[in-house]
Structure 1
Amino acid sequence: MEAYSKPKPENWTGRKSDQKLYLHQKVQLLNLKKASLENIQESDIVFLGYACDEGVKRNQGRTGAHAGPNAIRIQLGKQPEHLSETLNIFDAGNIECSDGDLKKSQDILAKTVQKLLARNSFPILLGGGHDIAYAHYKGIQEHLNAKGEKKTIGIINFDAHFDLRSDENGANSGTPFYQIAKECSADHTVFKYLCLGIRKDANSKILFETAEEHEVTIVENEHFSMHYLAHNLKHLQHFIKAVDVLYTTIDLDGFSSAYAPGVSAPSPMGFAPDIVLEVLKIIIDSNKLISLDIAELNPSFDVDNQTAKLAAGLIHFIMHRLDYSNQD
């Protein structure tokens, strides 16, 4: 497989325990070049990295996000786990973009996501730039098309930015949802996009106009907090009701730099983790969530691995909530 690196055991280390109390002891390495996917069972969780910041570079951001997936793994492996014994966790390695060919890497990522979903597993993708979103969505779409299912995909994006920039001059980390909207229009399919945490100081007037044109549901950052929890849940529940499946993407640069300094576009004006966790509960408990990613970790600018730990903490929460929901 081109543009692929196998999972590395050194990314999964931590305390030793005879009872296998830590995540690094539960994760199984899955080399997609050699191993089949037959061992993956329904609801198993599969980590897949997107070691790419070509899109960030094209979008004039701070490069370094290609190292994000492994930085998340290192912090996640140290954490204790409380998961069902029957739940398998796999690390399927990284899709890379070392030659600047963004489209090729996105195509490979989309095909891999499709294969993972065909096994009824739950992929958690680790970025990498937010151009991961276009490829991830395409993989979900191709999976549903292969099954002959005409389902409406709802996109929920935790982010300061719309990422609705035009791709007229090529795709980048700021164009994924514009690309999706454009293709939905061409295919006469519904574009359902909810963006949580949008900031006026992070998006131009044109981007707000583009969002309105494509009927994007917006919760601006000034209202995306625990103080407005009821308001946020109302928007969320209405959105979830209108779609068949959910794809969720978490851009770490939406968080305040007090929590996430290690991103491509940091700002102290972002949101806090508590509201994100509350919203994730509703998303997961809807039983409509099909796949999820975390994007834009840039270890080159992280402080004491704080942003990597935030990403790992979010994934830890998501994994355990998924496991809890599957037991009901």
Structure 2
Amino acid sequence: MTRPVSLIGAPTDIGAGARGASMGPEALRVAGLQAALEAHGLDVLDRGNLAGPPNPWQPPTDGYRHLPEVVAWNQAVHTAVHAELDAGRMPILLGGDHCLAIGSISAVARHCREAGKKLRVLWLDAHADFNTSVLTPSGNIHGMPVACLCGHGPQALIEIGGTVPAIAPKVVRQIGIRSVDPGEKRFVHQVGLEVFDMRYIDEMGMRHAMELALATMDANTHLHVSFDVDFLDPEIAPGVGTTIPGGPTYREAQLCMEMIADSGRLASLDIMELNPALDVRNKTAVLAVDLVESLFGKSTLMRDPERRR
């Protein structure tokens, strides 16, 4: 039996370098996310939008832009996501920029500790998001969430989940990466993050990358997917603040989502960095909804689940 689903809007671009991701939750609603999920037999409850401080649009202070506001938003996200998991519901966080994954994933990690579950995080993104205040060229905290979750960041952010670090690098699999700052690249290697970048996908194929990313999960694994829409090639998904050419095609992205669905382990989801201000007739939101449907079992053909593997 499928778990009931809760949509949680987080309308802020507090951690980003471009304004507009604050409109992402509404764009996903306009694109029919709730109806699309309900069409797959899911019980969907839209919890509306969380509230938080406005974006002051200030320069960085000590290597961080808008740190107090980022902390406030992530605390709100943490509380909301944890409450849904506690209630036995699957949270889908509608971003908002990707700094919000600190609150979301720290809540999932806390839930897993409390429930005695193993955690696996799939980070679908053009960027590794493993910057720190020392490494970052911009101070934008949406470039730092994975580092913060792994314990490398300001105290107020790394402590949100109640345990530092919230997660170990070994639980993360990054897919589609193609833009990493030089210092960040060294740090990623140093901590041993498992990264399936676009060169790997070009050489080995999306199927092989996903087989490895999903390997060793079992019935006690909670799978969290953090889907940054800039994971996709900007030719098909222009509505993001940081477009990086050379991302997965439509079919590669569909295969990625379908293989996650086949695993049967998906238990929480972020949809991040959708920026309607930079989109064309909401096409990126429509595509995101299409891909999320595939995460919940939509496929081109009817397939016998026993023969999918």
Is the shorter-chain TM-score for this pair beyond 0.5, marking a shared fold?
yes
1:166 aligned onto 2:135? no
Distance in 1 (CA, whole Å) between partners of 2:98 and 2:228 is 7
Question: Hey, what does 2:47 align to over in structure 1?
Answer: 92
List runs of 5+ in structure 2 lacking aligned partners: 56-68, 152-157
Q: What is the one-letter code of the residue matched to 2:173?
A: L
Deviation, structure 1 residue 319: 3.4
- TM-score, normalised with respect to structure 2: 0.79
Q: 2:232 aligns with which of 255, 267, 279?
A: 255
Pick closer, same or farther for the CA change 1:235–1:55 going to 2, 3 Å.
same
| 1:205-220 superposed matches below 5 A | 205-220=182-197
Q: 1:313 aligns with which of 272, 290, 302?
A: 290
CA root-mean-square deviation:
3.1
Question: Hey, what does 2:59 align to over in structure 1?
Answer: none
Cα displacement string for residues 248-275 of structure 1 (whole angstroms, at most 9, x for unaligned residues): 1111112111111110101332222322
Pick closer, same or farther for the CA change 1:305–1:230 going to 2, 3 Å.
closer
- TM-score, normalised with respect to structure 1: 0.75
Distance in 2 (CA, whole Å) between partners of 1:188 and 1:262 is 30
Deviation, structure 1 residue 208: 1.6
- % of aligned pairs identical? 25
Deviation, structure 1 residue 187: 4.9
Q: What is the one-letter code of the residue matched to 1:132?
A: L
8 Å Cα contact 1:253-1:267 kept in structure 2: yes
8 Å Cα contact 1:76-1:313 kept in structure 2: no
* Equivalent position SS for 2:174: strand
Cα displacement string for residues 273-312 of structure 1 (whole angstroms, at most 9, x for unaligned residues): 3222222223233233220111101111101211111112
Pick closer, same or farther for the CA change 1:215–1:97 going to 2, 3 Å.
same
List runs of 5+ in structure 1 lacking aligned partners: 1-40
Number of aligned residue pairs: 276
Q: 1:71 aligns with which of 18, 27, 34?
A: 27
| 1:25-36 superposed matches below 5 A | none
Identify which range, 242-251 or 75-84, moves more after superposition.
75-84
Distance in 2 (CA, whole Å) between partners of 1:143 and 1:227 is 34
Question: Hey, what does 1:157 align to over in structure 2?
Answer: 123
Distance in 1 (CA, whole Å) between partners of 2:272 and 2:166 is 29
Distance in 2 (CA, whole Å) between partners of 1:220 and 1:282 is 18
Distance in 2 (CA, whole Å) between partners of 1:269 and 1:42 is 35
Pick closer, same or farther for the CA change 1:123–1:78 going to 2, 3 Å.
closer
8 Å Cα contact 1:164-1:176 kept in structure 2: yes
* Equivalent position SS for 1:197: strand
